[in-house]
Homo-oligomer: A and B are copies of this chain.
Amino acid sequence: MTIAAKLDELGISLPEAAAPVASYVPIVDVNGFAHVSGQLPFRNGKLITGQLGADLDVEDGMDAARLCGLMILAQLQAADLIEHVDRIVKLGAFVNSTADFIDQPKVANGASDLMFEVFGERGRHARAAVGVPALPLGAAVEVDAIIAITA
């Protein structure tokens, strides 16, 4: 089954891939690994902003992390790599957090669960989830990725 068909089956439609800005690009694919830039959570083109522990609760955060994951998939699709994923290797989840918010793993599951839904066993990845005090444009979550690409 192609990933396109799997996304259809799951009723997932990918967002438009965010355009490259300045001197960096969304993905670099070299030596068997695609490194995906940190993606922000957009819904219908609108950024999800706010801080976990203040403006947002865990459910909001999981939802934002899932949106970051969808943008990672959108970038893979735009780069014609989504059908060539050998393994989701690593996700880095940066959660906009107050000092007393400690549920970063639950928030990051929004992105992690998506990868398993879409890619099955190939979607099981290593992960680091940490709190940060501030993110680009006030985003709630940022997620980057390392993905093994089939030769």
Contact = CB atoms under 8 A, between A and B. Distances in A.
Interface in A109-137: 109, 112-113, 115-116, 123-137
Given A94-B130, A132-B130, A102 B138 contact: yes
Contacts of A89: 28, 30, 33, 35
Interface residues of A, number: 61
Interface string A75-100: 00000000000111111101001111
A104 B72 CA distance: 20
A112 B20 CA distance: 12
Contacts of A31: 31-33, 148
Contact of A124 (B23, B109, B132, B133): B23
Contacts of A144: 126, 128
A122 B49 CA distance: 33
Interface of A: 21-28, 30-33, 35-38, 51, 53, 86-92, 94, 97-105, 108-109, 112-113, 115-116, 123-138, 142, 144, 146, 148
